[in-house]
């Protein structure tokens, strides 16, 4: 039994304002659902960032200001399937840059698939995969003194509360040397009409993704959540720039979690907060970077200006 999972669920459901950590979306079912989300017409984030990597590859490379004669490490945190990164890797290889690609991911499976795929698609690329939680793997980066470029794409930083994002950025910054670079992909603050449908798609895939948390608790912790008695509810205000996902109880009800030997009460309309997806602008990013030694060099936008890849430098 996974006691960390068990403890986190107990803690979240015992609070006055109930919550569940979004990291638990990502089991095999959650990973598959997220791949479907990335292909949804409403989910513009992945397409927008792909647009930047496909059409502005040269601008990314110019902003990184890499010396083609000096070896560097290209490190990707949470590499996933590498679709966007491949656009950059292909150009770096064709222009004879001297580097290794170091994808870091929590899933060994995802890393193996990525490596096999890259070996076929870009045979001249050196891949050194590292498995682990990227928050922890950051410490290991300090052991090498080669110049580094760290990719943290996909608005993954958006799933962190601002305080956590600040801690993460400080840790990232302290594992780098002056002049190292970071490519940080963030979703930009924009109107509700565009953001909300991305988290409330017509096909109901995001709902299934959100409810996967309850299914996991049912399966792994012997619980009896009746999925039909809950609703998926994303919320977003442009002034705040944060999309929040909730699971709302449709009725007064009780749920028993066998592994905890505990029953939880839910009031009609009571919300369980499951995810934050923060959207950014320059001001918010600067406040996140404030106590670190990372500064913005360049901001690259997709054609619709929905998404930005910021190039940051360690000062
Ligand atoms: C992984 N992350 C950036 C996604 C997001 O947009 O916050 C996760 C997601 N949640 C619902 N849809 C997609």
- Looking at the fold, whether 306 and 263 belong to one and the same domain comes out as no
- Are 20 and 165 within one domain? no
Give the pLDDT of residue 144: 86
The reply to whether 233 and 135 lie within a common domain is no
CA 277 to ligand 1 center in whole angstroms? 7
- What sign for the dihedral angle of Cα 31, 33, 39, 44? negative
Establish whether residue 199 lines the binding site of ligand 1, counting it when its CB lies within 6 angstroms of any ligand atom: yes
Whether residues 152 and 7 share a domain: the answer is no
Structure tokens at 156: 């993954």
- What confidence tens digit (pLDDT) does each residue in 277-300 have? 999 999 999 999 999 999 999 999
What values do phi and psi take at 264, rounded to 5? -110, 140
Residues 228 and 176 in one domain: no
Strands 230-237, 242-249: pairing is: antiparallel
75 touches ligand 1 (CB under 6 Å):
no
Retrieve residue 71's tokens. 């070896």
More confident residue, 106 or 281: 281
Q: How far is the CA of 112 from the centre of ligand 1 (A)?
A: 23
Average of per-residue pLDDT values in the chain? 96
24 Cα: distance to centroid of ligand 1 (angstroms): 13
Number of domains in the chain: 2
With beta carbons less than 8 A apart as the criterion, state whether 89 and 101 touch: yes
Range of the domain at 69: 44-191+279-314
- One domain, residues 12 and 124: no
Which of 49-53, 86-90, 132-136, 242-246 is least confident?
132-136
For 233, the enclosing helix (H) or strand (E) is: strand 230-237
Give pLDDT, residue 230. Answer: 98
274 in ligand 1 pocket by Cβ < 6 Å? no
Concatenate the DSSP letters of all residues of 189-225 into one string: P--HHHHHHHTS-TT-HHHHHHHHHHHHHHHHTTB--
The pLDDT-based confidence of 133 (bands split at 50, 70, 90) is: confident
Q: pLDDT tens digit string along 243-256?
A: 999 999 999 999 99
Atom of ligand 1 nearest to the CA of 243: 7
Q: What is the pLDDT of residues 190-242, one digit of tens each?
A: 999 999 999 999 999 999 999 999 999 999 999 999 999 999 999 999 999 99
Q: How far apart are CA 311 and CA 70, in angstroms?
A: 20
Cα of 127 from ligand 1 centre, angstroms: 27
With a 6 Å cutoff on the Cβ, whether 12 touches ligand 1 is no
More confident residue, 2 or 69: 69
Cβ(186) to ligand 1 under 6 A? no
Question: Is the domain of 184 the same as that of 202?
Answer: no
Predicted confidence band of residue 135 (pLDDT cuts 50, 70, 90): confident
Q: Do 7 and 118 belong together in one domain?
A: no
- Percentage, residues of the chain above pLDDT 70: 100
The CATH number of residue 292's host domain is 3.40.50.150
Query: Does residue 217 have its Cβ closer than 6 Å to ligand 1?
Result: no
Element containing residue 246 per DSSP (H, E): strand 242-249
Mean pLDDT of 7-14: 98
The answer to whether residues 185 and 229 belong to one domain is: no
Q: What is the pLDDT of residue 287?
A: 98
Task: Please indicate whether residue 155, judged by its CB atom, sits closer than 6 Å to ligand 1.
Answer: yes
Tell me, what's the pLDDT at 139? 82
| Tokens describing residue 259 | 């592994």
Ligand 1: centre distance to CA 133 (Å)? 18
pLDDT in tens, 14-55: 999 999 999 999 998 998 999 999 999 999 999 999 999 999
pLDDT at 137: 82
pLDDT over 90 at 179, yes or no: yes
Q: Ligand 1 centre from 143 Cα, in Å?
A: 32
| Separation of alpha carbons 102 and 248, rounded Å | 41
Shared domain for 48 and 164, answered yes or no, is yes
Nearest to 75 by CA among 113, 106, 93, 102: 102
**Residue 63 and residue 168 in one domain:** yes
Which residue's alpha carbon is at the smallest distance from atom 6 of ligand 1? 277
57 shares its domain with 114: yes
Question: What pTM did the predictor assign?
Answer: 0.97
* pLDDT at residue 1 greater than cutoff 80: no
């Amino acid at each position: 039994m996974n006691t960390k999972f068990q403890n986190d669920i107990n803690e979240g459901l015992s609070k006055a304002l109930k919550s569940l950590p979004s990291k638990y979306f990502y089991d095999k079912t959650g990973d598959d659902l997220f791949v479907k989300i990335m292909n949804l017409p409403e989910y513009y984030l992945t397409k927008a960032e792909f647009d930047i990597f496909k059409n502005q590859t040269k601008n990314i490379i110019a902003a990184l200001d890499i010396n083609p004669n000096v070896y560097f490490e290209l490190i990707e945190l949470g590499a996933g399937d590498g679709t966007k990164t491949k656009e950059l890797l292909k150009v770096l290889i064709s222009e004879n840059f001297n580097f290794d690609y170091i994808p870091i991911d929590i899933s060994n499976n995802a890393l193996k698939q990525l490596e096999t795929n890259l070996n076929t698609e870009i045979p001249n690329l050196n891949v050194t995969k590292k498995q682990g939680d990227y928050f922890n793997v950051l410490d290991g980066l300090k052991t090498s003194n080669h110049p580094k470029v760290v990719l943290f794409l996909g608005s993954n930083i958006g799933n962190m509360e601002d305080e956590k994002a600040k801690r993460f950025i400080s840790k990232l910054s302290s594992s780098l040397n002056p002049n190292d670079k970071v490519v940080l992909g963030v979703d930009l603050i924009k109107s509700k009409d565009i953001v909300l449908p991305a988290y409330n798609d017509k096909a109901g895939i995001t709902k299934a993704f959100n409810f996967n948390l309850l299914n996991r608790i049912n399966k792994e912790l012997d619980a009896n959540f009746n999925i039909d008695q809950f609703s998926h509810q994303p919320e977003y205000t442009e002034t705040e720039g944060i999309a929040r996902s909730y699971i709302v109880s449709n009725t007064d009800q009780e749920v028993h979690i066998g592994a905890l030997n505990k029953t939880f009460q839910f009031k009609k309309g009571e919300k369980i907060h499951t995810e934050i997806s923060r959207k950014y602008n320059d001001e918010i990013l600067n406040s996140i970077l404030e106590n670190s030694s990372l500064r913005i060099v360049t901001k690259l936008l997709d054609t619709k200006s929905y998404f930005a890849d910021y190039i940051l430098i360690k000062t």
